[in-house]
Amino acid sequence: MGGRLFKNFSFFSATLSFFILIGIFSILFTYAQDSIHHFGFDFLGGEIWEADEDDEDIGIFGGFIPIVGTMLSTTIAMIIATPLAMGIAIFLTEIAHKTLIKPVSIAIELLAAIPSIIYGMWGLFYFAPIIQSTFGGQGVGLLTAGIVLAIMIIPFMAAITRDSMNTVPDVLKESAYAMGATKFEVIKDVVMPYSKGGIIGSIILALGRALGETMAVAFLIGSVMQIPSKITDPTTSIPVLLANNFSEAQGLEMSSMYYLALILFIVSFIIISVAKFYFLGKKVK
Amino acid sequence: MSKLIMETKDFSFTYAGVDTPSLKKINLPIKESKITALIGPSGCGKSTLLRAMNRIHDLYPNNKYEGEINLYSANGKENILNIKKENDFIKLRQRVGMIFQKPTPFPMSIFDNVAYGLKLAGVKDKTEIQERVENALKSSAIWNETKDRLHTSALGMSGGQQQRLCIARAVALKPEIMLFDEPTSALDPISTSAIEELISELKEEVSVVIVTHNMQQASRLSDYTAFMYLGDLIEYDKTDIMFMNPKEKLTEDYITGRFG
Amino acid sequence: MNRLLLNKIILMLSTLSAIIGISFLFWILATLTYKGVSSIHLSTFSQDLVNGGIRNLLVGQFTMAIIASLIAVPLGMFAGIWLREYSNGSKLASIIRNLSDVMMSAPSIVIGVFVYALFVAPFGGYNGFAGIIALAIMMIPIIISTTDNMLALVPKELREAGVALGGSKHKIILQIVIKSAKVGITTGVLLSFARIIGETAPLLFTSANSQFFTMDLTEQFPSLTVSIYNLATYPDEASRELAWSASFILTAIVLIINLTGRYMTRNKK
């Protein structure tokens, strides 16, 4: 009967995510085989990325620079974004007057809705020159990318943190106030510990997102295969390298790109899953 | 003696994942065209027993039944605990209707709400549907309030009206038994008395089982009352007799308000 | 005294954070409007990329997003229905739910590279279908999550009432439960549509881009977002201007869809 078909199709659709995930792992792993065979774990430390002009099956490729670039840009972004996101969440839950909450929340959500490439455009033509005149360098580089990346993940982190903080029962806060605590002390000693899981989860989740961010970083990080010696130096990251060079790559170089994609995917997967574990306790079934 | 329309025989029920049964060997008769009330303190199992009578527990897996629940009809006696096939479940629920504590209007028009059960049952003739909807709304004392807005959303009605709508919806199927699970506890006093009046009139066409934590309601409405406590059926009798002269001390204590 | 001062400082810093956040929003929107509006002409909409307009890019981006939605929304909804209505909270359901959430945050460029291997390389070149599939893969987990959460908000009594009338499970799900959650689900669909229409990375190596107006999905397909990426790097002024017009229009579209979606739930809640 229709009922059976309906139920089975629902189940099939549900398992689709699972199969897509398996599919991604399999494809990445398969296409990375060449490169994995050639370089093994040395790939992680290799600083040279040079294709051979004539033979697509030889060349030296190492993922150290894009890996480091990914880590550094993400770290800068997290350092800047975390306090700001926490501040915004605190503002929305504890400080803002009732009439302000809605508009500010909407503004933050709009920030989150702006496509990555728009951040890239604005960053490249308006923000980079400012960084250049303030800090030196060429405008595009690690610092600029890190700051714009921070702006991109702040709304996401703030929203989840805010939702977490809103789950604190009013009675709990009221009993703290009744003992003469200041607002900050109530936040520090009651709200934060109560919503700790959600807050940490939001931070880790934002980290996972930042790792995979491509377009804005591609505009702003400079796309140069070098290790930055100062914070304003241009460098590259895994998504940026893929975005810029994947289409021309062939043979061993392409395989090395899949190797990088595999590393990125595994690391993101682990980080996001860990964040979910933290969430798991609070998630509504 | 009035005829039996349903009875439970040594009926026990255990919820999924729990060790102790919530109902222990209940033997309860339900008389035809009469109102039977189930009363008792919170947790005594009265709702659990009611919900077994249309097997709505089966929406949730791994519950355990023991004993029998028999439905009597012209074809004889049928143990509804033996039902396994979806079609048979559907037929059961068309014969045994249920009204919940919270009014549950569907997100559709008033007309479509009442017609819903009919459409499920396969009634296709538009005139028949129209007629049955009108009759059901009349039987539920809500025709006058709705006849001019049959095709507006049911969600726009007040709580009392919504509950009467739910009753109309169930009545349209012409069930043999109607189960009411604390139907007025979420309503205001005026709606409550309107619905009590409605239930009283319904017993001409349907046999009624009503769970209530309001003893006055039970004594006002019902012909027979069953008092339950911690999963056991403590006492069952004609309502007048039970309230005037309860046989068990526990019953007397509950009725006089010493606990519960 | 010290406590009060500390309190004041923290609260001020928090308010400052909110101000900073909002300032960036206005800064970006102001920039876009200023640069975008000044470079928009009638030709922007009536010409294709080859002639300095974005007509084919708009049509192309929408086409891919819409077809991707036609694939992702039913699949995502059915999956959400299974999770909430059929799975009975089983272990498998938890796993699938979590995996789906993880996919929501997965790097979009990896998805592009994945789809390349399956739908571009074996077929001899970039094509619109691959772009559509990449977008659909990104959209499905979001729809699953939305449907799952919106269905959870429907009170269980509503389902029980349907069953009590003799309804079969799938009829009740379709005619009562989904209907009750209609507004929330629609908003979710709108928001995820707004998200994928602004995506670039999944399209880079799947549908790539095209300068011409075409509806041929077997070839490279025009994309607004990929074009912005390309145009921004060209040295000539005209390309830069076009990149800004395109950016402004893209952002306007995304924000309008977003606000529409939120407006819908604003009244219902």
Where is average pLDDT lowest: A10-24, A165-179, A266-280, B238-252? Answer: A266-280
Q: How many CB pairs under 8 A join B and C?
A: 69
Q: What is the pLDDT of residue A284?
A: 40
**Residue A283 confidence (pLDDT) above 50:** no
CB contact under 8 A, A215 and C107: no
Work out the minimum CA distance from C154 to partner chain B, whole angstroms: 11
CB contact under 8 A, B108 and C179: yes
**Residue C104 confidence (pLDDT) above 70:** yes
Residues of A numbered 102-131 whose beta carbons fall under 8 angstroms of chain C's beta carbons: which are they?
A: 104, 106-111, 113-122, 124-126
Q: What is the pLDDT of residue A17?
A: 86
Fold of A61-280: MetI-like fold (1.10.3720)
Are the CB atoms for C212 and C222 separated by under 8 Å?
yes
User: What is the DSSP code (8-state) at residue C76?
Assistant: H
Q: Enumerate the β-bridge partners of residue B226.
A: B38, B236
User: What is the DSSP code (8-state) at residue A50?
Assistant: E
Tokens 């500010």 found at:
A104
Are the CB atoms for A89 and A162 separated by under 8 Å?
yes
The number of beta carbons lying within 10 Å of the beta carbon of residue C154 is 20
Percent of chain C with pLDDT over 90: 81
CB contact under 8 A, A243 and C109: yes
Half-sphere exposure of C34 (CA within 13 A, CB side): 9
Are the CB atoms for C225 and C203 separated by under 8 Å?
yes
CB contact under 8 A, C164 and B120: no
Residue to test with chain C: of A27, A124, A214, most C Cβ within 10 A: A214
**Closest residue of A to C241, CA-based?**
A121
| Of residues B60, B102, B116, nearest to C165 (C-beta) | B116
d(CA A282, CA A280): 5
d(CA A220, CA A100): 34
The number of beta carbons lying within 10 Å of the beta carbon of residue C89 is 12
pLDDT, one tens digit per residue, over C48-94 is 998 889 999 999 999 999 999 999 999 999 999 999 999 988 899 98
Measured between alpha carbons, how far is residue C256 from residues B188, B257, C93 in Å?
Answer: 44, 62, 35
Residue B237: phi and psi, rounded to 5, are -165, 175
Q: Enumerate the β-bridge partners of residue B11.
A: B26
Residues of B whose CB is below 8 A from C182: 107
Helix (H, G, I), strand (E, B) or coil at A59: strand
d(CA B166, CA B185): 15
Q: What is the pLDDT of residue B260?
A: 66
Buried b (16+ CB within 10 A) or exposed e, B200-230: eebbeebbbbbbbbbbebbbebbbbbbbbbe
CB contact under 8 A, C164 and B173: no
Tokens 């605190």 found at:
A90
CB contact under 8 A, C18 and A24: no
Work out the minimum CA distance from B136 to partner chain C, whole angstroms: 14
CB contact under 8 A, B98 and C168: no
- When the pLDDT of each residue in chain A is averaged and rounded to a whole number, the result is 91
Tokens 């046989």 found at:
B247
| Of residues C88, C160, C171, nearest to B120 (C-beta) | C171
d(CA B250, CA B255): 9
pTM for the whole structure: 0.89
Burial (CB count within 10 angstroms: exposed 0-12, middle 13-18, buried 19+), residue A125: middle
Measured between alpha carbons, how far is residue B224 from residues A196, C29, C104 in Å?
Answer: 55, 72, 58
Radius of gyration of chain B, Cα coordinates, nearest whole angstrom: 18
Percent of chain B with pLDDT over 70: 99
The number of beta carbons lying within 10 Å of the beta carbon of residue A64 is 16
Half-sphere exposure of A166 (CA within 13 A, CB side): 11
Chains contacting chain A through 3 or more C-beta pairs under 8 A: C
- Give mean pLDDT, residues A239-263: 94
Q: How confident is the model at residue C1 (pLDDT cuts 50, 70, 90)?
A: low
**Residue C175 confidence (pLDDT) above 60:** yes
Cβ-based neighbours of B63, under 8 Å, separated by 6 or more: B13, B14, B15, B16, B57
Buried b (16+ CB within 10 A) or exposed e, C52-69: ebbbbbbbbbebbbebbb
Burial (CB count within 10 angstroms: exposed 0-12, middle 13-18, buried 19+), residue C1: exposed
Helix (H, G, I), strand (E, B) or coil at A168: coil
Residue A281: phi and psi, rounded to 5, are -65, -30
Cβ-based neighbours of A232, under 8 Å, separated by 6 or more: A131, A132, A135, A136, A137, A138, A141, A142, A143, A144
Tokens 């605590």 found at:
A181
Tokens 């479940």 found at:
B89
d(CA B139, CA B184): 18
| CA dihedral of residues C30, C35, C41, C46 (deg, nearest 10) | -90
Are the CB atoms for A258 and C110 separated by under 8 Å?
no
**Residue C267 confidence (pLDDT) above 70:** no
Are the CB atoms for A44 and A64 separated by under 8 Å?
yes
- Give mean pLDDT, residues C118-145: 95
pLDDT, one tens digit per residue, over C186-226 is 999 999 999 999 999 999 999 999 999 999 999 999 999 99
Q: What is the pLDDT of residue C203?
A: 96
Work out the minimum CA distance from A151 to partner chain C, whole angstroms: 8
Cβ-based neighbours of C134, under 8 Å, separated by 6 or more: C111, C112, C115, C202, C203, C206, C207
Where is average pLDDT lowest: A13-17, C40-44, C213-217? Answer: C40-44
Task: Please give the angle made by the CA atoms of A101, A105 and A111, to the nearest 5 degrees.
Answer: 155
Where is average pLDDT lowest: A22-31, A171-180, C20-29? Answer: A171-180
Residue B10: phi and psi, rounded to 5, are 45, 45
**Closest residue of A to C225, CA-based?**
A117
Are the CB atoms for C188 and C80 separated by under 8 Å?
no
Residue to test with chain C: of A1, A5, A9, A13, most C Cβ within 10 A: A13
**Residue B196 confidence (pLDDT) above 60:** yes
- Helix axis angle for C2-38 and C237-268, nearest 10°, is 120
Cβ-based neighbours of A143, under 8 Å, separated by 6 or more: A76, A131, A135, A137, A231, A232
**Residue C238 confidence (pLDDT) above 80:** yes
Q: Enumerate the β-bridge partners of residue B227.
A: B39, B235
| Of residues C161, C179, C182, nearest to B104 (C-beta) | C161
**Closest residue of C to B98, CA-based?**
C164
pLDDT, one tens digit per residue, over A182-196 is 889 999 989 999 898
- Give mean pLDDT, residues C110-136: 95
Residues of C whose CB is below 8 A from A88: 14, 17-18, 21
d(CA A205, CA A271): 7
Q: How many CB pairs under 8 A join A and C?
A: 256
Q: What is the pLDDT of residue C42?
A: 86
Can you say whether the dihedral through the CA atoms of A157, A163, A168, A174 is positive or negative? Answer: positive
Are the CB atoms for A17 and C103 separated by under 8 Å?
yes
- B37: which 2 tokens? 């009330």
Are the CB atoms for B68 and B8 separated by under 8 Å?
yes
CB contact under 8 A, C161 and B56: no
**Closest residue of A to C207, CA-based?**
A247
Q: What is the pLDDT of residue A197?
A: 86
3-state secondary structure chain B: CCCEEEEEEEEEEECCCCCCCCEEEEEEEEECCCEEEEECCCCCCHHHHHHHCCCHHHHCCCCEEEEEEEEEECCEEEEHHHCCCHHHHHHHHHHEEEECCCCCCCCCEHHHHHHHHHHHCCCCCHHHHHHHHHHHHHHCCCHHHHCCCCCCEHHHCCHHHHHHHHHHHHHCCCCCEEEEECCCCCCCHHHHHHHHHHHHHHCCCCEEEEECCCHHHHHHHCCEEEEEECCEEEEEEEHHHHHHCCCCHHHHHHHCCCCC
Q: How confident is the model at residue A1 (pLDDT cuts 50, 70, 90)?
A: low
Percent of chain A with pLDDT over 90: 73
Tokens 């499905």 found at:
C140
Chains contacting chain B through 3 or more C-beta pairs under 8 A: C
d(CA C119, CA C128): 10
d(CA C269, CA C194): 22
User: What is the DSSP code (8-state) at residue A246?
Assistant: G
Residues of A numbered 194-223 whose beta carbons fall under 8 angstroms of chain C's beta carbons: which are they?
A: 205, 208-209, 211-215, 218-219
Measured between alpha carbons, how far is residue C224 from residues A103, C34, C249 in Å?
Answer: 30, 19, 10
d(CA C239, CA B251): 89
Q: What is the pLDDT of residue A285?
A: 35
CB contact under 8 A, A111 and C21: yes
Buried b (16+ CB within 10 A) or exposed e, C94-105: eebbbbbbbbbb
Are the CB atoms for A104 and C18 separated by under 8 Å?
yes
Q: Enumerate the β-bridge partners of residue B13.
A: B23, B65
- Give mean pLDDT, residues B114-141: 92
What is the helix, strand, coil percentage profile of chain C, to 5? 80, 0, 20
Domain extent listing, chain A? 61-280
Cβ-based neighbours of B5, under 8 Å, separated by 6 or more: B30, B31, B32, B71, B72, B176, B177, B207
Residues of C whose CB is below 8 A from A87: 13-18
All structural domains of chain B: 4-103+176-255 (3.40.50.300)
Residue to test with chain A: of C200, C226, C262, most A Cβ within 10 A: C200
Residue to test with chain C: of A7, A8, A10, most C Cβ within 10 A: A10
Task: Please give the angle made by the CA atoms of C256, C262 and C268, to the nearest 5 degrees.
Answer: 140
Residues of C whose CB is below 8 A from B56: 160, 163-164
Q: What is the pLDDT of residue A51?
A: 86
Residue to test with chain C: of B83, B91, B116, most C Cβ within 10 A: B116
